[in-house]
Structure 1
Amino acid sequence: MTDLYNNNPLIHRDRRLSASDSEWVRSFACEDLKPLIVCRGPIRKEAMDVFEEMGISHYGILLSEKDSIVYANALAPELRQLTDSNRVHRVPDYTGATKEERIERIGQIIQIAKDNGYDSIFAGYGFMAEDEEFVAAIENAGLSFMGPNSRTQADAGKKDEAKRTALQVGVSVTPGINNVTARTLVAKHPTREALLALVKSEGLDVDAKVLKDTKLSLEELADEILYASYAKGIDLYSIEELSAQVQVEVENMFREYPGSRIRLKAIGGGGGKGQRILGASLLSVKKPTNAQIKDAAAEAPGLVREVLNEVKANGVGDNKNVLIELNIEQTRHNEIQLLGNGEWCISMGGRDCSLQMHEQKLLEISVTQEGLAVAIEKAKNAGRKAEVKALESDLKVLKRMEEDAAKFGAAVGLDSASTFECIVDRDRYYFMEVNTRIQVEHRVSELCYSLKFTNPKDKNDFFIVESLVEAMALLVRHKKRLPKPERIPRFGAGAEARLNATDASLSPHAGGMIRYWSDPIVGEIRDDQGICLVNPDTGMFMRYKVAGAYDSNIALLLTKGEDRLDSYRKLSEVLGKTTLRGTDLATNLEFHYGLVNWFLGQNVMAKPTTRFVVPYLTLVGQLKEEANKLDTLFAFIQMKKAYAKKMAEQFPDDPKIAKEMSSILDRKGTLVTRPMDRLLADPHLLSGWLSTNRKNFTMENGKVVWHDNPFVILGDTYEYLNMSYDPAAPAADVIWSHDSDLLQKGLRFYTTLSEKFNLGLHEFDALSAILANEKPQGGFSAGEWLDIQSAHMGFEAGLELLGMLFIIAETVKFWDFKVEEDLEVTIPDHLNDPELQTRMKKVLVPPPATKADEIVAMCGGMYYGQEAPGMPPFVSEGMHFEKGQPLYIIEVMKMFNTVRATFSGTIDKIIMQGADGSIVQKGQPLFKVTPDEKFVEVNPEELEQIKRERTAAYLKAVL
């Protein structure tokens, strides 16, 4: 963790309340708290740091073999700080693979706590944080849980109960069904008599008053019976019966909400797990036929099994309830940070988490009433009326969400940190769920607000808390003694990017080795689980293997700012200055950098929906596909020929001029082409660059016309690519020294000239108009003016090539994906085409090399040949498969990915003969097949010819 103020690793602030002069403040000291940390990742390291800052010395951590022992070179980096082996405890894994193992693990953790003198357990945002059974067991053992109590977990943590509570306190919820298990039981036992007979035959412990209450509906009675069955550990319905009922309900919802998709959510899911969406084929159908509806709903049974498998709720006696909800298509995902002590509950502003993929959040931005008020005022002053109206709507919705969130928290007796998650649809919002734990992105709220706890008897007697982990410790230690705090604005805005182990298409990529990570820069807040802690003896970076047993997160990168624009600019700087190197290492660093700069080039107050990322990635894939067709070396050579021809025509009697121009171009070759090659090689970087330069040119009569100085933009491009000259850096990573000399000489020239004419460095149109005068300007002599014009022509020569990047954008209609004046994001329809999305995913990350008669693993992970235990295998030898048919499941970072055939053919042989759960490597052959159609490989010489023809066509638009 890097300190919020001085940005130096391992320099901690003093949070010890015992050091205060105030007796009242000292009474809230927590040094005697003895917590056991049973979570992993950045939150484990953060908790360690905060506890030490609070003076808590008797804390311990729990390590799973999956993140410390089994994987070579993946030793938990926190052990570099916590070297006392007596405070490090080990378990095979955190939760166990089955219900029986989970119960065993709960007992094991509690016993570890008791045996080692711990009095409380902190689960962070980890696996156990929202486990009602785990929390109840802790409480029954006489220990404290540093998080919401078991009653709150029951009323708010389970998605079905949370929706019922929300309805009871008047909070709007997403349309849907939250009791499909009760409906399944009623379908099987359709009368009250049948249900009562079931209670008797199974010997279920149901309250006699409930059984006699004739006012209860059959579904309400069924719910009570089901809870008794969970307590006894038996099933009253099969997964097949549940799946069939879900299919019926989905069909009915498709009829009720035509043109919509349906979301299935396991009640115990979280972090994107246990959720699936179906009905894509009906999105554009206003009046679907019964056949179309039945066909779309036929996916439901398989998806039900997937979500139950993913959250491990498929055991006997597990609560298998699945929410069936309308998928609000044009939505933003907002959430409200809550904190309570069981009597009071306060909100700490909101966060926009709409930028996500696979239900996994990627970029999280603060949303506060103060921040929106400032943005509204700025938009008013700029005369942007549509933006003002949009922001005022957001402010009203945020106020309602904060009020309802606090009301909900009080209703469930919230006594720790939690998050109230919502779907925002323009001027409306729907309650989605409550995360009864601290969130991964909690620091975004910490950056915006601190908490002031004041002595009720003396307003001048108070203490300030800036950490939610610290607040959770205070709550578990002092409970209802802690007075209701006042939230104090801290920084104007906060932003967080999740640095994940994913490839360029954002698919999980586990197993890479981090061998180098640049140091944090000023203004960077990095939570990295201690990976960046150097070897205490040598001061060298210690390599770290991204094991991938649990999730793909490597680090959380945060920044703060005066407003959102400032926080985005600082986040861009952090991402641009971050360098990660390793073996088989893939991260989403470039994706984040491109995305942040895309918004900087558009409007950071934009309102992207949860459907933003996939079409955006598709557009980036199109950039890559087009960029692959260009050859900068060929373009440079052809440009030199064009200049030679031009000079010969303009100065037929002076061949020296043509030679001089050729020499100038030769000196600038790598200066221009190296950053271009970098942008062409990485479409994420290209996307951000294009967006920030979108106003710097226009197309006139098929030609690129510059409105900013290409030479200045070239200098900015080197900065953007983090390629500025650094003699200590590898030469391949930065501008070469002779190119740097030329670049700086040109920038000094234009800086001096701009100052002379009282212009900004980017006011190129005005400068060009001045330099076009044959008569000397600015008091220069005729000879000086001629030298200035010649120097200008020399510096600008060859920079036309940069304009080819704009032609790429024009070709793929890059600019059609944009932020409108009302802050809504326009996504061109073609980018929502599933086939195009699939194809562009392969452009971004080409599939592993394979023979025409093989199907290989799409990535590394755990292989499953069937949908669930007891189900038939997806494929068998000799069977014919169709395009789109499931072939296998691969589990990566706790997410189950169903891999479907990209062509039709016949399975000749199943090469992968291992048991389900076997580890496979990316590119490992799984099946021998005979495709229905023969694949024809493209001749490399033909590809080269295509590149030259396309490059020549682009040159015509820039020369």
Structure 2
Amino acid sequence: MAQTTDYYANNPLIHRDRRLGNASSEWVRSFSCENLKPLIVCRGPIRLEAMTVYEEMGISHYGILLSEKDSIVYPDALSPELKRLTDTSRVHRVPDYSGASKEERVERINQIISIARDNGYDSIFAGYGFMAEDDEFVAAIEDAGLKFIGPCAATQRAAGKKDEAKRTALQVNVSVTPGIDNVTARTLVSKYPSREALLSMVKAEGLTVDQKVLDDEKLSLEELADRILFASYEKGIDLFSIDELCAQVEKECAEMFRNYPGARIRLKAIGGGGGKGQRILGASLLTKKNPSDADIKKAAADAPELTREVLLEVKANGVGDNKNVLIELNIEQTRHNEIQLLGNGSWCIALGGRDCSLQMHEQKLLEVSVTQEGLALEIEKARKDGLKDQAAALETDLKVLQRMEEESERFGTAVGLDSASTFECIVDRDRHYFMEVNTRIQVEHRVTELVYKLKFTNPEDKDDFFIVESLVEAMALLAEHKDRLPRPERLPRFGASVEARLNATDCSLSPSAGGVIRNWSKPIEGEIRDDQGICFPNPDTGLFMRYNVSGAYDSNIALLLTKGDDRRASYEHLAKVLRNTVLRGTNLATNLEFHYGLVNWFLGQNVMAKPTTRFVVPYLTLVGRLKEEAQKIDVVYAFISMKKHFAKLYGGDKETAKAASETLDRKGTLLTRPMEVLLGDPHLLSGWLSLNRRSFAIENGKLVWLRNPLVVLEETYAYLNMSYDATRPAAEVIWSHDNELLQGALKFYAQLREAFGLDKGEFIKLRELLEQEEPQGGYDQKTWTAIREAHCGYELGNELFGMLFMIASKTDFFDFRVEDDLEVTIPEYLHDPELQAAMKKVLVPPPATKADEIVTPGGGMYYAQEAPGMPPFIKEGDHFEAGQPLFILEVMKMFNKIPAPFAGTVDKILIEGGDGVIVQKGQPIFKVTPDEKFVEVDPKELAREKRAQTGEYLAAVL
């Protein structure tokens, strides 16, 4: 335990005494949880967090559940927490956590309850995944006489099921997204279109439905159908086929397209979560204000296939499963905001908001705190700085946040919330719509813990209280002392916080499973790293232990958090954390560089910006364009060409030409090394360009420096974590002779600024003075001549570095920007699906393949058919067209249809073992005969083209 404490000594979220039993107050001691005996039924960072918090609370008898899938299917992915929990009697194993089918799920529930009973556990904690929102699981736990550390089964049913939650929201005057929440009931009514037909069916199927319900003629057919459907779930039978459901969904989607022209529709399985079980259709109608019936019919025709996908993804396609799917208007320009809730069944308190708009594949990437105190501070600063539009926008946000918090508490009280949950909304400027409630703790809950703490006060003595800073601790308290806990007061803690999800994804943010982490740099001061214990060293050797990033679950590796007095401070510290994080491994891909580029993009623009959920894909498309342009530049060729340019320019003066050549040679690696790093990673380039958007201007097609390029160069080395450090390998930092040259130049300009009374930002004025032949500032002619010559030497060649800014000009990089009112302007062309797909391939080129093969674009689990019982996508001998789905690759719980890259015929299927086989990136799947012969490009021709393009870039800066 000592090693763990030392390793995370700077983490303000852990390692404090939470043992209330040690308090001097009898009232506080009465809330001790030391007798709680929980079984932790979850994985990832939340499992380690629960272990840590429980130990700090004095809970000694806790156990954890491990899935054998962790260690059998994915070697070296065994839970790293076992470096801490070495008592094998408290480690329990199951084949997997939730089962692959309804039958297996029931079996697993019974198995988990048996493990708890047989080993003396009195409660179960399910974290933020798997079975945390399964009301049947929670009900079974309660029926077994065990406590569930989370919302009770009644709350799970009322708030956790998306359709029920939406109906409750309407009843308590909560704003909801327009749409349909009872398509299964409508499907049943379509099949049995009268009360008599429905009642006859109930009798024929032997369903148990309350007679009062059957006799109540005030119930509409759809309401009656809903009650009948719940009886069918109890009996485990289907009253309609999936085909009939899909047909009804298609019909409802068509009607919504007519009612909301120019909009898309979102399908959401009621049991989905974490972005799973959701699909969007109607992209073809986005630009059509008056779509024709043919347009609508074509768009709605995608609904059946997407409905099957969402049901399959949440495992609700079995007999007797509740297959209800929400059909909602997709609010296009929205932000995703959520409110943290806590309740005990009688009171409910909101703990501020989190903006989770920066997401992709419905998976959140970057989450920031949103509090009334924080917004009030930013409003005051904006007013002081004369930023009227920004102040007005923030005032709107404050009003929306206040309304969301009020509505969330009202909703929580209505459903009897008795633990932690999250009230999720979509926000459109000054409006918001309730989306769903997650009846569990969220991955990003620590964002809230950093900005608020809870003060529980004795109702009979205001000086008698205790403080809770952990939501996991609060959930344990509620499980043990629910009814007795008084409503707490929320107290501000730190001003702002931000969390980046470090995921196993490639450069285009597609999941990338199977990599091995072999080394991870230690956390820096102020870094909060939740990594499931991956970074815990071997307790015997103190060395880092390799870790296999499993593909069985989601793509998250760790959660990286920072806090600060305000949002900018928290972003700046996160940038520092990301800059200093070094991850090394085998076949390892992460989104570390994406986060670093993105965080610095906002630091260069405005951290209070209001990006929508549609931000990330066009942003990635723009980053792809950066890479496309960056690939056109050969830095070495550019440097040699620049030397030739100056040799020709000074050709009439051999001494000057020789001096210029020698100067350029001394500066060569100083300039080219950071350029090559930036050109090699478009995410780094994106962040750097944003930070430097005021460092240059383009005048008449030529680059003009607005800041001292050598200052920019020094900042660039720092940005790339390449500042001079004698303790680090030379390959990772600026070389010592380059550093001496750079520091000498910076000292030279600092002395000149002091002599002329100029500040660091007045480079243009300094340059204008240095252009004067007549001595300035009281210098004599000889000294002034030497100063000007030194200036020319220091300036010489900096044009090369300016080529990076020309990439921004070529790609219209700065047209993607934050406006004065904090809205983000995204150029329309970046929403083009074809361009997005093309830039995805630029960011991550397809794996090398032979002309007669089709290979997997990544590692994962192979499926030849869309769902069990359905025909395969393709068979041997079949012809396929470009873009036609050929198979499904499941990567970290995301089901990806892999399209054909070209047209051809399948000669042989190479996968053995059928569905569920694990495949590696680049593994051949089919032997094929393509329709067209592939023509290889001559590498020499590519090199000639690249030199020509480099020459064009260089001409713009010289």
Q: Where on the TM-score scale, by shorter chain, does this alignment land: which range? A: over 0.9
| Number of positions where the alignment pairs a residue of Structure 1 with one of Structure 2 | 955
1:68 is matched with which residue? 71
What is the rounded CA distance, in whole Å, between the counterparts of 2:619 and 2:810 in structure 1? 16
Match of 2:731, as an amino acid? A
Report if aligned partners of 1:600, 1:692 keep a CA contact under 8 Å in 2.
Answer: yes
The CA deviation at 1:493 is 0.5
Relative to structure 1, the CA distance from residue 809 to residue 815 in structure 2 (aligned partners, 3 Å threshold; closer, same or farther) is: same
1:205-224 to structure 2, matched below 5 A, reads: 205-224=208-227
Report if aligned partners of 2:344, 2:418 keep a CA contact under 8 Å in 1.
Answer: yes
Q: 1:387 aligns with which of 378, 386, 390?
A: 390
The CA deviation at 1:509 is 0.5
SS of residue matched to 1:334: strand
1:512 is matched with which residue? 515
Match of 1:915, as an amino acid? G
Show CA shifts across 1:817-854 (max 9, x none). Answer: 11111111111111111111001000000001112222
What is the rounded CA distance, in whole Å, between the counterparts of 1:705 and 1:360 in structure 2? 41
Report if aligned partners of 2:8, 2:523 keep a CA contact under 8 Å in 1.
Answer: no
What is the rounded CA distance, in whole Å, between the counterparts of 2:389 and 2:881 in structure 1? 49
Relative to structure 1, the CA distance from residue 759 to residue 573 in structure 2 (aligned partners, 3 Å threshold; closer, same or farther) is: farther
Report if aligned partners of 1:179, 1:321 keep a CA contact under 8 Å in 2.
Answer: yes
Report the more deviating stretch, 592-601 or 873-882: 873-882
Report the more deviating stretch, 695-704 or 756-765: 756-765
The CA deviation at 1:542 is 1.2
Show CA shifts across 1:124-146 (max 9, x none). Answer: 10201101001001111111000
Report if aligned partners of 1:3, 1:10 keep a CA contact under 8 Å in 2.
Answer: no
The CA deviation at 1:762 is 3.7
The CA deviation at 1:658 is 1.7
1:796 is matched with which residue? 795
2:195 is matched with which residue? 192
The CA deviation at 1:11 is 7.1
1:475-874 to structure 2, matched below 5 A, reads: 475-649=478-652, 652=653, 655-874=654-873
% identical aligned pairs: 74
Match of 2:584, as an amino acid? R
1:118 is matched with which residue? 121
Show CA shifts across 1:309-348 (max 9, x none). Answer: 1111111111011111111110000000000010110001
1:33 is matched with which residue? 36
Report if aligned partners of 1:712, 1:761 keep a CA contact under 8 Å in 2.
Answer: no
Q: 1:336 aligns with which of 325, 339, 358?
A: 339
The CA deviation at 1:6 is 5.0
Structure 1 residue 408 and structure 2 residue 407: aligned?
no
The CA deviation at 1:2 is 8.0
What is the rounded CA distance, in whole Å, between the counterparts of 1:755 and 1:458 in structure 2? 63
2:441 is matched with which residue? 438
SS of residue matched to 2:165: helix
Show CA shifts across 1:167-204 (max 9, x none). Answer: 01011111111111111111111111111011111111
What is the rounded CA distance, in whole Å, between the counterparts of 2:723 and 2:749 in structure 1? 18
The CA deviation at 1:908 is 3.0
Relative to structure 1, the CA distance from residue 6 to residue 377 in structure 2 (aligned partners, 3 Å threshold; closer, same or farther) is: farther
Report if aligned partners of 1:351, 1:366 keep a CA contact under 8 Å in 2.
Answer: yes
Report if aligned partners of 1:3, 1:11 keep a CA contact under 8 Å in 2.
Answer: no
Match of 2:210, as an amino acid? D
Relative to structure 1, the CA distance from residue 193 to residue 809 in structure 2 (aligned partners, 3 Å threshold; closer, same or farther) is: same
Show CA shifts across 1:503-559 (max 9, x none). Answer: 000000011111111111111110000111112222211111111211110000000
What is the rounded CA distance, in whole Å, between the counterparts of 1:403 and 1:564 in structure 2? 24
What is the rounded CA distance, in whole Å, between the counterparts of 2:541 and 2:766 in structure 1? 54
Match of 1:18, as an amino acid? G
Relative to structure 1, the CA distance from residue 657 to residue 451 in structure 2 (aligned partners, 3 Å threshold; closer, same or farther) is: same
Match of 1:925, as an amino acid? P
The CA deviation at 1:938 is 1.8
Report the more deviating stretch, 501-510 or 784-793: 784-793
SS of residue matched to 1:949: helix
2:22 is matched with which residue? 19
Q: 1:307 aligns with which of 310, 327, 345?
A: 310
What is the rounded CA distance, in whole Å, between the counterparts of 1:480 and 1:331 in structure 2? 38
Report if aligned partners of 1:3, 1:12 keep a CA contact under 8 Å in 2.
Answer: no
What is the rounded CA distance, in whole Å, between the counterparts of 2:256 and 2:838 in structure 1? 31
What is the rounded CA distance, in whole Å, between the counterparts of 2:534 and 2:517 in structure 1? 9
Q: 1:454 aligns with which of 446, 454, 457?
A: 457
Report if aligned partners of 1:371, 1:492 keep a CA contact under 8 Å in 2.
Answer: yes
Q: 1:109 aligns with which of 108, 112, 136?
A: 112
What is the rounded CA distance, in whole Å, between the counterparts of 2:99 and 2:755 in structure 1? 72
What is the rounded CA distance, in whole Å, between the counterparts of 2:859 and 2:840 in structure 1? 17
Structure 1 residue 44 and structure 2 residue 37: aligned?
no
What is the rounded CA distance, in whole Å, between the counterparts of 2:505 and 2:657 in structure 1? 50
Match of 1:733, as an amino acid? E
Match of 2:917, as an amino acid? S
SS of residue matched to 1:241: helix
The CA deviation at 1:9 is 10
What is the rounded CA distance, in whole Å, between the counterparts of 1:179 and 1:567 in structure 2? 43
2:350 is matched with which residue? 347
What is the rounded CA distance, in whole Å, between the counterparts of 1:171 and 1:505 in structure 2? 37
Show CA shifts across 1:755-780 (max 9, x none). Answer: 44343334311221232233434444
Q: 2:148 aligns with which of 140, 145, 148?
A: 145
Structure 1 residue 248 and structure 2 residue 247: aligned?
no
SS of residue matched to 1:172: coil
Relative to structure 1, the CA distance from residue 925 to residue 370 in structure 2 (aligned partners, 3 Å threshold; closer, same or farther) is: same
Match of 1:613, as an amino acid? V
Report if aligned partners of 2:341, 2:423 keep a CA contact under 8 Å in 1.
Answer: yes
SS of residue matched to 2:229: helix
Report the more deviating stretch, 293-302 or 761-770: 761-770
The CA deviation at 1:8 is 5.7
Match of 2:96, as an amino acid? D
Q: 2:80 aligns with which of 73, 77, 80?
A: 77
Match of 1:434, as an amino acid? V
SS of residue matched to 1:250: helix
What is the rounded CA distance, in whole Å, between the counterparts of 2:65 and 2:8 in structure 1? 30
What is the rounded CA distance, in whole Å, between the counterparts of 2:41 and 2:546 in structure 1? 24
1:98 is matched with which residue? 101
Unaligned runs of 5+ in 2: none
SS of residue matched to 1:705: strand
Report the more deviating stretch, 871-880 or 511-520: 871-880
Report if aligned partners of 2:268, 2:277 keep a CA contact under 8 Å in 1.
Answer: yes
The CA deviation at 1:65 is 1.1
Report if aligned partners of 2:600, 2:688 keep a CA contact under 8 Å in 1.
Answer: yes
Q: 2:166 aligns with which of 163, 166, 169?
A: 163
The CA deviation at 1:5 is 9.7
Structure 1 length normalisation: TM-score? 0.98
Relative to structure 1, the CA distance from residue 138 to residue 757 in structure 2 (aligned partners, 3 Å threshold; closer, same or farther) is: farther
Unaligned runs of 5+ in 1: none
What is the rounded CA distance, in whole Å, between the counterparts of 1:526 and 1:11 in structure 2? 11
The CA deviation at 1:10 is 11
Structure 2 length normalisation: TM-score? 0.98
Match of 1:893, as an amino acid? M
What is the rounded CA distance, in whole Å, between the counterparts of 2:694 and 2:255 in structure 1? 49
Relative to structure 1, the CA distance from residue 906 to residue 749 in structure 2 (aligned partners, 3 Å threshold; closer, same or farther) is: same
Report if aligned partners of 2:311, 2:323 keep a CA contact under 8 Å in 1.
Answer: yes
Report if aligned partners of 1:2, 1:525 keep a CA contact under 8 Å in 2.
Answer: no
Report the more deviating stretch, 655-664 or 616-625: 655-664
The CA deviation at 1:409 is 0.4
1:935 is matched with which residue? 934
